[in-house]
Structure 1
Amino acid sequence: MALQENYTQTDKSIIQTRRFYDVTLKHALQFIAHLLLPLMLGIFTVAMTINQQNMAREQRAEDQKIAELQRDLERKLNDERYQNDIRDAYIKEMGELLKENNGSLMSNPVTAAIARGKTLNIFRELDSQRKARIIQFLVETKQLSEAQKQRPLDLSTAELHNIDFRHSAVNKKVLSNIALSGVFLRNATFMRMELGHATFSESQLDDVNFSLARLTSVKFSSAQLRQVDFSFARLNYANFLSAQLDSVNFTSAVLTSTDFRYAQISRTSFEQTSCTAARFDHANLSNATFRYADAKGASFIRIDLINVDFSHANLYKADFTGSNITDSQLRRALSVQDAKLPNGTLARDPNLINNGQANCNVSVVGSWKVEIGNVTAVMVDENITNCQFTLQSVATGATMSQLIDLSSNFHKNSWPHSQAVLNARMSIGVSIHLRGINSSGQILVQQNFRTKDPASAPHRHTAVHLFEWKWKDIADECIRFLGPSGYAAIQVSPASEHAVFSNHPWWQRYQPVSYKLESRSGNETEFKDMVTICNSASVRRNNGDQGPPSDDFGNTNSVSISNLTCTDRWICEHRWRQIYNMVGFRNTAKFEQVRKWWDNGNNQIAFGLGDKAFIAINNDNYNLSRILETALPTGRYCDVISGQLEKGRCTGKIIMVQSDGKVEVNIADTDEDPMIAIHINAKV
């Protein structure tokens, strides 16, 4: 029983303890719940307050930003108004000065000083766009033109930075006769523009863009050019005399008769440039490159060229007199043919044709593929260094060929503008067939060359002098010996009637007294028979000085004309197109005065005859490419040298005269007739 009572008491105690803990936990949870509610409300209140403060700050920041933008806009608008006002005021003041000085700001020193001061001051105040407008105003009022009798407005020391000069040009393209001497140009643009007779002498140009521009007679003498871009530009008669060029880019530009004499040129690229007849005499070329350049006829007199790269350059007829250049540099060039070396001798290109000089000590079949007949190398005049290829059988003839790989000589990018020159001495009847073949064997171009001699029969090359022979004796000799022996032609004494002296000296044959074919060699009939007989024997008469046929009284006989054409070379000169068209030229402008004369100081000239006609002639060994002035009305003209007007259409070149009377003249030195002629009666 006692044990049972103990258990009972213990159970009661446990139950009471649990009840105590249950009451305590309940009260604690209630207490915490009552405590969390105000705490959550407090936290929410604090969060709301912070969020409202943040929103207020953001709103204030946004309001401040809007206010700043408004102030910036107002400042910008005020600045725009200010710049417009001072620009307009400048133009108005300059206009008044122009009126007061008969259109010239340089007419007197005081006006010139005022104009210069106002202009330099306005450049300090205006942005680049408005500076361009000021230059446009000065150009349009002809105050920057050197073509006028008065001097241009002096803009030296002006800072013309970040200007796009296309905004100052006519049609954003043409800007002529502008004088910008002594100015500072940085990050300026002349891209794709046409500049004629502009002046940048003694100016400083940094990061200026002339790419794809056309510059004619532009002066950069004594200027400083750094990182200037002339890539793909065309420069005709540009002047860089004594200029300083650093890191200038002429890549793929065309430089015609450009003057770099005494210039300081460093780190400048002339790669793939055409600098025909350019002059670099006495210049300092340091680390410049002429890779793949066409420097035909360029002059490099008295220059240190050790650090210049001429790899794959065309140096044909270049002049290196007194310069310092190595053989390895010349070997890396594409061509040095006829270039004048420092010692005064002429350079020669290596022959690309294997055994092209007919070496008597080398077998022909070792370098040539003989396809028909037999060919041998034969010594001429008992000189082992003077050999020639000779047929073993004239009747059979021969054909030989050789494949020449030009891929190592020509860069693929310059191939369309390159040429391989073939020089050959060929006898009458020999022909050369050239074919250009690509790597796939496709024929790209082909051409035939052959020699022709109307005074010699085919495959015959030797003429014989039969002076003072009788015509009958010559005819007999042609039949019995000259023909069978392979002689080509005979040269005879003059056939005309001549003076007769008592002692019959040899020179009396050369004293003609009439056109009668009557001499001590025979009469006209005998002369004709001799010619006929010798021609039948393949022996031809050679006397290029004989004139047109005459009758016994000295009257010239009629010329035989077939199909209304006269084919004799020196009888019908009056029928040559170039001659009878120039008769019309002279009839149009006979009494006009010479105007707009131009020449390059050598053999290129041009001039007009009043406002009726214009002619340009290129007798130099390089191209004439230039914009020239004429006095002709604007319009399209037919060049009467290369063609003529037929039913309102021109069969030759069409020359365009612009509204300012200027004309673009392009005459290659290789043209059949290196000249053009136009007149008002040949307008298309």
Structure 2
Amino acid sequence: MTDSVIIVMTKTENPISEKNQNLRCGFSLHGFTQMAIHLILPLTFGIFTVVITFHQQGVANKQRLEDRELARILREQDQNRSASQREQDKLIARQQREEDELRRYQDLNISAMRRDLDLHIAELTRRSDDLNAELQRNMSQEQRQHELELEQQRYEKQMAIEHERYEQERIKYQAQLSLSYMNEISNLLEKTDGYLNSNPLTAALARAKTLNVIGQLGSNRSRQLIEFLHDAKQMTTDDKALDLSGAQLNQLDFRGSSALHTRKKLSLVGISLNEATFEGLQIYGWDFTAASLNGANFRYCNISNTKFDQTSLIDADFSFSQLDLITFNHVDLSMSNFHRSIGSTCQNGKCSLELVLSADKAHLPYGRIGYARALIINGGNASCGGYDSVDAAQVRLKSWTQQPANGFIIRRESSINHECVYSAKKDATAALIQKVSLSGPHIPNFNDLVSKGLAVAIIRANFSVGTEILIEEANGGQKISNHNLSFPASEDSWLYVATSPILLNTNAKDLIFTVTFLRPASTRWLQLPEIEINPLLSRHMPIL
């Protein structure tokens, strides 16, 4: 808004003043006044305009500041309202989400509850059905079980009747068989004047009949048959004894016969009596030569003047027995038991245990443990153990014939933990030879076993490839048969090899043991050659 100032000027005529003024400075007062009036008016208008302009600018600035402040306030109010609206919207949205989540959770719970309820109802229904089915099955099964039990009872009763009938028939048959056998043998005895071995045909017929019958009789009747033959002087230890070798009387119990308690000179030569029981018997003058008595029970027996020569007595029990004048020549007593047995096994100043083939792990009197079976190669073990040096072990080589002479050494072999072995000095072919006599000087000698065709040999050795072992059976200068120990293998191989059991020829007197080194001696060696002799009926040997 602009204010207007109107100046009214009144002109007064003063002739004196005007005249005076006109006289000053060459100007008249009137002229001066006119000039001042003309100057003041524009100046006043200019000042007024400037003042008005500054005033208007101040008012405009103030108005702008007020407008800005008002705009700021309005903007802040709008922002506050917007923020409040957003918070309210967020709160409403969160509440809506929570309500939706709660509603969804409630819906899920309702669905889960319905599903669980449906499952529970289904499970109850299934259990009810299963229970009904189980009850039905149980009823059927009980019925079937009852029927099966009745059938089983009928079957068992029928089987018992059949078994009783069978036993009666078997006993009747065995009685008839035994009676028929005794009648036939009695007739043969009458025809041969009480000597079934009077001619080979009668002896063979009696042997065949006896072996056929004795295999069908039970334990009691087998004892009765033995008593009958012994009473008839056909199973005594004299020359008239009937040959029943090979008869199978395993697990026979001799305690059931009072007559056997006092019998003397009973011959059971060559009969298989494994796990037979003789406990508490008085055994006098019996002959068990070449019998198989593995696991037999001789506890608390009084045994005297009895032969166990060439018998297999593995795991036999002689504990608490009285032994007097017993012979154990060429017997295998491995794992047998002589605990607290008393008496003597010596005769004519020679103890028969010295002639035992093996007492390996046997429990001997006075708490001793038996020794292993006899090995009859001299210098077989090339081990340096117990010697101050390898050179001191060269004495073992004296047991061998060397080809060439002095062509071997005993050295340590790295492939077998640096144990000592026989090895040739040079790369050329060389041999070690040793003749082993079957008649000694080792104890026992094996002439008796060999001559009867009962000697079984096993040859073992530990040796490298390129080494061959030949075993020859000989009689004087005559060679009967030979056997080889060798194997093909790679250059760095070695093996512990054993032959199959060899039934020695009845004419054999010696075994010639030849070890040939076929290739460079630096890798060819021999260790632990041994020969083991066993009776044919020993459990260690299969019957050939």
Report the TM-score when normalising by structure 1: 0.35
- The structure with the greater share of residues assigned to helix is 2
